Amino acid sequence: MTAEAPVLDVRNISKSFGGIKAVDDVSFTVNRGEILGLIGPNGSGKSTLFNCILGQSRPDKGKVEVNGKPVLGMRPCDLSKRLGVARTFQMLQVFPQMTVLDNIILAGQEHSGTMLGRLMGASDAGLTESADRLIAFFRLGHLRDELAGSLSYGQQKLLDAAMAFMAGPQLVLLDEPAGGVNLTMLEHLKDRLSTYNRENGSTFVVIEHNMEFVMSLCTRILVLANGAIIAEGSPEEVRANPIVIEAYLGS
C-alpha cells in the first residue's frame, strides 16, 4: 500500500521584493486532516508564503501541488472550484454594508460551480441554505440579518472565516484568524475550527501570533524567521526549542 499523497506540497519557494528575501527556499508538506500552524516574528514571510501558494503573488522559484496537481498560475477562483482550496486574509474582507447572510452568500457565489455548487444546483435557494448552515455552525444566527459593519471586530473576524467555508473546502489557509480578537471569541473560533476539521476531515494551515491559540489548535507547527523555516515539530517540541525562543526574543 502506498502512503496517501500530501494535500499540500510546497517545494523550494522563494520570493524577493527588491533586495529583501521575503521567502527563502521554503519546502514543506501538509497531510490530510492536519492543522498546521505557521508562526514567526512580524515580517518573517508568512503572508507572502500564503500569497505564493495561492497565486496572489508569483514566486521567483519553486512549485506548489495540491493533491498532486500543480497550482502555480491558477486563479484563486479556479483553486477553490477545482481543488477545494480556500483562504482568509490578514485584513478583514467582509463588506460592511451587506448583511451577514449576504456576505456569506456572496462568498458562495464566488465558488459557484464548485463541488458544493453542483451539489446544491448552485441556485440561490441552495446558496441560502448552505449559508444558513454555516451561520448556524459558526453560531452567528442572531446576527444573520445585521449589517456586517455593525458587528464587533471579533464577530467580523468570525464571519470572515465562515465565508471561506462556503467553498466546502478540503484545504483552508487562514492568515491570522484570531488577530485582535478577544478571549471568548478566540475560544469560540478555536472550537469551531477544530470541530469542522474533525467532522469534515479538512486540512488547515493557520498563521497566528497568539501562541496559546496555535499551541492548542494545531497538530504540528512550522516556525519561519527571515523567510526560512528554522524549526518544525509538535507544539510541545516547538515551545521548548531554544532556536525558536531565540528567534522571538531576538526580534
244 three-state secondary structure: helix
> For ligand ADP, which is the closer residue by CB, 91 or 183?
91
Shortest Cβ distance from residue 27 to ligand ADP (Å)? Answer: 17
Shortest Cβ distance from residue 3 to ligand ADP (Å)? Answer: 31
Shortest Cβ distance from residue 11 to ligand ADP (Å)? Answer: 19
State the first-to-last Cα distance of the chain, in angstroms, to the nearest integer.
Answer: 45
User: Of the candidates 14, 44, 47, 88, which one interacts with Mg ion according to CB under 5 A?
Assistant: 47
Per partner kind, with CB cut-offs from 5 to 8 A, the member of Mg ion, ligand ADP, none near residue 48 is: ligand ADP
Query: Do residues 245 and 41 lie in contact, with contact meaning Cβ atoms separated by under 8 Å?
Result: no
How big, in percent rounded to 5, are the helix, strand and coil portions of the chain? 45, 25, 35
> For Mg ion, which is the closer residue by CB, 6 or 177?
177
> For ligand ADP, which is the closer residue by CB, 38 or 189?
38
Nearest to 11 by CA among 69, 63, 70: 63
- Residue 21 pairs in a beta bridge with 16
**In whole angstroms, what is the distance from residue 203 CA to residue 85 CA?**
10
> For ligand ADP, which is the closer residue by CB, 51 or 202?
51
Shortest Cβ distance from residue 180 to ligand ADP (Å)? Answer: 14
> For Mg ion, which is the closer residue by CB, 108 or 227?
227
Per partner kind, with CB cut-offs from 5 to 8 A, the member of ligand ADP, Mg ion, none near residue 153 is: none
**In whole angstroms, what is the distance from residue 86 CA to residue 134 CA?**
15
Which segments within 82-144 are labelled E, that is strand? Answer: 85-88
List of residues contacting Mg ion (CB under 5 A): 46-47, 90
